[in-house]
Amino acid sequence: MVGKYASISILSFLLTWLGQRFTHTSEPRCRCLYGDSCWPSDDAFIKLAEQLSAPLIYPRPLALPCYSNPDSSACAAVHARWDDGTWRAEHPGATQHPNFEALITPSGEVDACYANSSIGSPCGQGSVPVIGVKALTLADVRITVKFAAEHNLKLVIKNTGHDFLGRSSGHGSFMLWTHHMKDIAVDEVFRPLGAPEGVYYEFALTIGAGVQWHEAYAAADNANRMIVGGISPGGSVGAAGGWLLGGGHSALSPTYGLGVDNVIQISLVTSTGDHLLANAHHHADLFWALRGGGGGTFGVITSVTYRTYPIVPTVLATMVVSVKSTELTDDVKTAFTELIRITTNLTDAGWGGYAMFDSTGDTRGFSLGALVPNVSWEEANRTIMPYFDYVKSLAMSLDSSDETWNGAFKVEGGTTTEWPSFWSLYKHLMPNTGQVGRNLELGSWLFPRDVLDGDHEHVAEVLLENPGLSYELIAGGAVSKVDPSSTGLNPAWRKAVVHAVFGITWPDGASAEEIQQLRGSLESKLTRVRALAPDSGAYLNEASLFEPDARHAFFGGHYEKLRAVKRKYDPTDLFLVTEGVGADEWDEQLRCRV
């Protein structure tokens, strides 16, 4: 028997060795990074540049000018516009949150470039790619993808840098920057490729990969139409990339659905350099996967076609509750608990929006901003005002300038206004700066109807343990009416009503040990949050970098089908991103197969 098992062992070793040898000779197990001997020569990059519409780019950390000359106008601009998302998007080396420009090295050092150059450390390249292509055309994208595949490079696709998983940066990588692909077209009649006679869409909006939401909203409005999209200061988030591919939530979603429910056709380049059009009638399997399977996973998006809607009035409801205290008081908790209790009623009525908690100095509380399109002002008030009246009944009657409200609960607002369109409201409501420019990592979870309709007090208790909580009414309603199998999106979305998201921040100069301690605290809190709805999941675009079961959290029962589609259209795994489909078959750096 010993001899038998020894023979099997030797045979197993030989088969393994031959398999490794075959893999090594036919397909390298590791990607080539800058500094490796396999990195393309200068001549190779010169030949690449000769084929492109624009010179090669050499991304650098955004704060670099403050190290070379702290008194320069370039450094002054860095400090003045550090939290301007639109400005950051114009720089290929910048991410919206600078921690994704940084790198924690294997030795435990933080390689970063801080706006405050006096912190002491030199400006490091960190996770910023060293060289890349500024794509202006479809041909540029195809050439770049073929070059990356030929040289086995670690490829990073970047538009605006709005990414909480660090997918638009990568140490030693090669960048494809799609930010300047800004074509926009409105077709009064749009027929998807391969669609049968009679299948068409009116006033479809086709946008290039680099178009941002402020540009897409304006284009739709100019055509006397509206479009479902994201909300961010300045509208700086990309409208045809990761937002859509991860699901794409919106305050309009309870009425009109998610981004994946409103896309008609997607143009992309695959890892072989082929250009494909994917829709419900042509490459339908790929179209299914693209709608929720995640950005940077199946190909490079070059344009997206969305359905649009007639412009309708939109009602906005706002309220701020606060208390002078170092802790959240019972009144604040009671007000939030009641919001949880009525959430499903609100989203069923079409309301979408955000309750955001804030702790500033000795003041605690939350603000609520919610909107509902295409209902009368009277109907909107009928559904939201009872909540406002309830919260006001908890508060003391105080003048807003009264300084004697120490420890008392105060309500500001609790009113509604009507706007002629969503876009007019957006332009009035959203500042041009804010929310970006700080080190930030997130945790999040989707909450289904049955949990919110259950023990409201317990849900509120657990959620309020998380600093910076944002309680987002961006599902339910129309989102829940879509067949979960019709898109590659995690089926948990179709049961969800709320997306709860929170995070950790740290100052520039924090050590790797301090960052890891904060991450441990975040994970501990997130474990409690997940336990409220263990069968649910997380929003792929706004989630923890360290989900213990990413397949379940982000893709649910769709993972295996998504993996099969990826093998078909990206057989070499050229497109890999943190926690994306196929990423668990590679090491933590997404450099080598495991």
CB–CB of 85/213 below 8 Å?
Answer: no
pLDDT for 1 beyond 50: no
Exposed, middle or buried: residue 213 (CB in 10 Å: 0-12, 13-18, 19+)?
buried
**How confident is the model over 488-541, as pLDDT tens digits?**
999 999 999 999 999 999 999 999 999 999 999 999 999 999 999 999 999 999
- Percent of the chain past pLDDT 90, that is, above it, reads 86
Number of domains present in the structure of the chain: 2
pTM score: 0.92
DSSP 195: P
Residue 533: what pLDDT?
Answer: 97
Q: How far is CA 411 from the centre of its chain?
A: 32
Closest Cα partner for 217 from 428, 418, 369, 380?
428
SS3 187: strand
Integer Cα distance of 242 and 245 in angstroms: 5
CB–CB of 467/502 below 8 Å?
Answer: yes
Q: How large is the C-alpha radius of gyration of the chain? A: 25
**Domain at 407, CATH number:** 3.40.462.20
CB–CB of 490/558 below 8 Å?
Answer: yes
Range of the domain at 466: 314-556
Q: Give all strands (DSSP E) within 68-125, no chain letters.
A: 103-104, 110-111
pLDDT-based confidence at residue 153 (cuts at 50, 70, 90): very high
Does 548 reside within a domain? yes
In sequence order, which residues have a C-beta less than 8 Å from that of residue 190 and are 6 or more positions away? 200, 201, 202, 204, 206, 264, 305
pLDDT for 16 beyond 60: no
Does 21 reside within a domain? yes
Closest Cα partner for 494 from 262, 293, 258?
258
Integer Cα distance of 93 and 125 in angstroms: 9
Q: Give me the amino acid identity at 394.
A: L
Across the range 127-152, mean pLDDT stands at: 98
**How confident is the model over 376-393, as pLDDT tens digits?**
999 999 999 999 999 999
CB–CB of 273/145 below 8 Å?
Answer: yes
pLDDT for 24 beyond 50: no
Does 282 reside within a domain? no
Helix (H) or strand (E) holding 305: strand 300-306
Burial track 310-339 (b if 16+ CB lie within 10 A, e otherwise): ebebbbbbbbbbbbbbeebbebbebbbbbb
Q: How far is CA 116 from the centre of its chain?
A: 27
Across the range 29-56, mean pLDDT stands at: 97
CA dihedral 485, 489, 491, 497 (to 10 degrees): -130
Integer Cα distance of 113 and 60 in angstroms: 10
| The two structure tokens encoding residue 320 | 């701020």
Closest Cα partner for 289 from 584, 563, 579, 576?
563
Integer Cα distance of 251 and 105 in angstroms: 39
Across the range 353-358, mean pLDDT stands at: 95
pLDDT-based confidence at residue 432 (cuts at 50, 70, 90): confident
CB–CB of 59/92 below 8 Å?
Answer: yes
Does 592 reside within a domain? no
pLDDT-based confidence at residue 327 (cuts at 50, 70, 90): confident
Residue 498: what pLDDT?
Answer: 98
Strand order in the sheet with 363-373: 409-419, 314-324, 363-373, 352-360, 470-473, 496-506, 439-448
Does 17 reside within a domain? yes
Integer Cα distance of 130 and 376 in angstroms: 54
Q: Which residue has the tokens 């009414």?
A: 473
Q: Give me the amino acid identity at 375.
A: V
Does 218 reside within a domain? no
SS3 238: strand
CB–CB of 372/351 below 8 Å?
Answer: yes
Integer Cα distance of 286 and 276 in angstroms: 10
Integer Cα distance of 203 and 220 in angstroms: 9
Residue 11: what pLDDT?
Answer: 38
pLDDT for 19 beyond 70: no
CA atoms within 13 A on the CB side of 245: 30
For 458-496, the DSSP string reads: HHHHHHTTSTT-EEEE-SSGGGGGS-GGGSSS-THHHHE
Does 85 reside within a domain? no
Instruction: Identify the residue with better confidence: 142 or 360.
Output: 142
- Percent of the chain past pLDDT 70, that is, above it, reads 93
Integer Cα distance of 575 and 353 in angstroms: 33
Residue 407: what pLDDT?
Answer: 58
Residue 509: what pLDDT?
Answer: 95
**How confident is the model over 300-313, as pLDDT tens digits?**
999 999 999 999 99
**How confident is the model over 447-489, as pLDDT tens digits?**
999 999 999 999 999 999 998 999 999 999 999 999 999 999 9
Does 101 reside within a domain? no
Beta bridge partners of 446: 499
